[in-house]
Chain A
């Protein structure tokens, strides 16, 4: 790491003169308007960047190169961005065994580690809800508690239900987005182009599952905790003022791996696979267990199945 890049990355400096402060404010305004751009060219290029789906392969390559440059300037480390396409013949489905989940929130933070969510302001893609046994749930989530924090879990008399993006086949968020910045990929993952989203948050109003998250402030991640293996539509670092959400770990699942939340789950409550493959684990769950989907009355057709294995 060079001294030059150290200086540019803006290491904290305690004694701030008025001029520095003014400069900082000006840079802040520019920074708010443009993503980490340091050169004029970069700023113009990012401003006029086309919609992801309207770019040719060459244009995507150029954009990724520019983004990698911008990221390495910001984080002092190389970030690999791929734009791997959907594997033909796949439609991802997820299973969550409610009889096993103990509400330990390992999934929440494994997701944060994998997907580079902002640590401050805090962004979580998974919400774990706690319900009192025998009381209202599923339809009336008013009794849900998401801030529980006992000494140990599971607790007597409670059960837990993690909620994340349900990757609807009929996604209300995609319908709502005024700029087509979010769409459903051929493998069923609902993705967002973080360079196209205008931050109107209409999708958040439309989502019945509280799955979408907004970068209310400039996202901050400790450099040493950065996951540098990223996907353009997935876990690459985000910008202030854009919406983000679970992508079934697109960077992993398109490479054949399980999502991070599946792998971390200490009780094996989380299942994943290809809905189009009759021998997949998710198909086994659907065919052998009694599955249900959240808020089925809204006809969003989630590809996220809850079930009870025992």
Chain B
């Protein structure tokens, strides 16, 4: 006894046992959580000053009836996400407003909102977990970069808005030899449109 190597082995065994038995202690955890990598997501794209919701909602009584809202009017006006079947508190937790609520009653943070979306959009959730649904950036070889659903889709109005396309290619008959000074070389229209889109978002 007291041999350092043996002690290490014992610790390892205990840790392994703990890990194995862990699901037993948390039977309500959705098992999907395990296959979601933990290394990802930038913070949710809140509008400025809106979070935490409890700032305002802490003292308010929750009212689940569908009605004309006097605040969040922008959201209410544009709300178009199965709007006939759904209203605010179907996703937002009535008691602790800084959390979202799944159909099961389980609360999830805004950082894990994909569970909420995944309830209905199961096939897309599956693709997303595999790193196939959504915008891909970074490395095909190495850690995947994930985004929350809400980084691309407005949760209250998820369908993408049409955007302005970039110009078509030149027709072959219009491609001709021209004398051009360095300043006259056409610039890439991409830079301009990305700049204007950034401004628009702000």
* Structural contact, A113 and B166, CB atoms closer than 8 A: no
**B64 close to chain A: CB less than 8 A:** no
* Structural contact, B130 and A281, CB atoms closer than 8 A: yes
Contact of B187 among A110, A119, A310 (CB under 8 A): A119
Q: What residues of A have a CB within 8 angstroms of the CB of B137 in the complex? A: 258, 262-263
* Structural contact, A152 and B185, CB atoms closer than 8 A: no
Q: What residues of B have a CB within 8 angstroms of the CB of A102 in the complex? A: 160, 162-163
**B127 close to chain A: CB less than 8 A:** yes
Query: Could you tell me which residues of chain B, from 101 to 142, have a CB within 8 Å of some CB in chain A?
Result: 123-124, 127, 130-142
A215 to B142, CA, bound (A): 36
Q: What residues of B have a CB within 8 angstroms of the CB of A285 in the complex? A: 132
**B169 close to chain A: CB less than 8 A:** yes
Q: What residues of B have a CB within 8 angstroms of the CB of A225 in the complex? A: 187-188, 191
**A154 close to chain B: CB less than 8 A:** yes
Q: How far is the CB of A86 from chain B (nearest CB, A)?
A: 13
- Size range of the chain B interface in the assembly: 35 or more
Query: Could you tell me which residues of chain A, from 266 to 281, have a CB within 8 Å of some CB in chain B?
Result: 266-268, 270-274, 280-281
Closest to A147 in B: B168
Stretch binding the partner chain, chosen from B3-11, B65-73, B78-86, B176-184: B176-184
Q: How far is the CB of B44 from chain A (nearest CB, A)?
A: 18
Closest to B152 in A: A268
Enumerate chain A interface residues (CB-CB to B < 8 A).
11-12, 87, 102-106, 108-110, 112-113, 119-122, 124, 127, 146-154, 216-217, 220-223, 225, 253, 256-258, 262-268, 270-274, 280-281, 284-285, 288, 309-310
Enumerate chain B interface residues (CB-CB to A < 8 A).
123-124, 127, 130-142, 152, 160, 162-171, 175-178, 180-182, 185-191, 193
